[in-house]
Amino acid sequence: MVGVAGGARDYPYAFHIALDGNGLNGLEGRAGVCLFRYDPATGDHAYKITYFGGVAGGHAPTVDPARRLGFLGNTGQHLLFYDPATLDEADRVSTLRFAVPDTTIKGSTHLVWLDDTEFVTAIGEHLWRFDVNRLTKAEQLAPHGLKVPHAMKRTASGRYVVFGGMDHPTRGEAREVGVLDTLTGAVRRVELPTTCWHLVPHPVLDVFYALSFRVAPADGTDWQHWGMSYLREYAYEVDAESGRVLRHWSADRDLPAHINSDVTISDRELIFCTGGSHTVVLVDLATLSQHRIIDEHPGALDQWTHARQAAATVTEALARGNVFSNAHLYVGAMKVSRGALLDGIYACQLSADQTLLFTANRGQNHITVYDYPSLELRLRVSMPELQEFDPRLPSWGDPRLGFHHSYLVSPAGPTSPTEGTP
């Protein structure tokens, strides 16, 4: 399923966004990529959208350092590669040939490129090293030591691969992140007070920042059908070499910073977006005490405009857990979302020259470009409905494309603060 808008021309920015369809639980949906191109000098933009058949749970895209091959991480136990210019599928391989996971949410959702062809990802209970020229051959590196490995990044020196961890459907709360030393091959498990799915490395130091992702299990035991917890959130500054927490930021539960997704960073701020609270939160790196917020919370009129999305959110939430025994989770979710029946921003990336911040709002189905550091809105584009790519869907159905994690290819600048801006 493919869609295109905009003429053929060169654009300096290419914003790759993973798509998982219109479900509330992105771990079970479709698998696709939205490629959004932008020229800030003229304001011109274009996009292309592709969904891949036979793959599920599209989650996190990345592009190799040479910008010749894209990867779509997913929860469906596939390694899927695509042409970053056309979105045509380049290759895929089942990871079940290497290991069978103990839960279907355990997939190769993220990877880290070591060079133009080699990468590291998690499969089953181990970290594996691959070469894109020999995808059916792989080197098993070491046990990752986490319940469900998730986001993966490489620190500034390139020596350490750091990765977050999800709660396990049956083994419970994670409260851990991992560190792979690529020189020695050793893996360290770092215990934390809260589960942290997502993280980002410091621009120049072998330090990384892990963001808390606080949920509660349905009926008190089911960690696969979890609900959003109305609890305070954390950001931990962790030294990759020693595994020690150096500093941390803690926000009271009223701060709309719940259920984060993409994390990026500038020379001055830790930047993360929230699917639960509809915000982008920017925390001052110097102090880890001050913060700014971009708020895309939908008002009453916006919610009425997106009534189909809201209806789908309610329906799928009811399908996740018994209303009577999980009433606290439903109330907590409404507190987290500040009454919105939509999900929020899942993608945010900062340009290499730290002048533009790209975001994608899942619930409102739009892409926005902000000036940085002023945070003034530069461009907002409403994206097409999912029905345009799948005629089987009823016109009254949920129209969300399903934005999730993202990766930004931008012109080389004086600094490259994130893995997404080589």
Give the pLDDT score at 421: 39
- For residue 97 the two structure tokens come to 């040939």
| CB atoms closer than 10 angstroms to residue 163 | 28
| CB atoms closer than 10 angstroms to residue 392 | 6
Alpha helices in 69-163 (DSSP H): none
* Strand ranges across the sheet with 160-166: 148-154, 160-166, 176-181, 187-191
Q: Report the alpha-carbon distance of residue 179 to residue 146 in Å, rounded.
A: 10
Q: Report the alpha-carbon distance of residue 61 to residue 32 in Å, rounded.
A: 9
Q: Decide: residue 374, CB within 10 A, 0-12 exposed, 13-18 middle, 19+ buried.
A: exposed
Q: Report the alpha-carbon distance of residue 382 to residue 5 in Å, rounded.
A: 12
Give the pLDDT score at 4: 60
Cα–Cα–Cα angle for 248, 224, 344, nearest 5°? Answer: 60
Secondary structure of 158-198 as H, E, C letters: CCEEEEEEECECCCECCCEEEEEECCCCCEEEEECCCCCCE
Give the pLDDT score at 395: 94
For residue 385, the 8-state DSSP code is: P
Q: Report the alpha-carbon distance of residue 79 to residue 126 in Å, rounded.
A: 15
Chain centroid to CA 390:
24
Give the pLDDT score at 25: 81
Q: Report the alpha-carbon distance of residue 76 to residue 95 in Å, rounded.
A: 9
pTM above 0.75, yes or no: yes
Distances (CA, A) of 25 to 30, 52, 320, 331: 11, 18, 9, 18
Q: Report the alpha-carbon distance of residue 158 to residue 155 in Å, rounded.
A: 5
Residue type (1 letter), 308: R
| CB atoms closer than 10 angstroms to residue 107 | 26
Q: Answer yes or no: are the C-beta atoms of 2 and 50 closer than 8 Å.
A: yes
Give the pLDDT score at 9: 76
Give the pLDDT score at 415: 45
Give the pLDDT score at 301: 84
- Average pLDDT of adjacent 10-residue blocks, the chain of 422 residues: 63 98 91 98 97 98 98 98 98 98 97 98 98 97 98 98 97 97 98 98 98 96 94 98 98 97 98 98 98 95 90 92 94 96 97 98 97 98 97 95 98 53 37
Q: Report the alpha-carbon distance of residue 13 to residue 77 in Å, rounded.
A: 30
3-state secondary structure of 307: helix
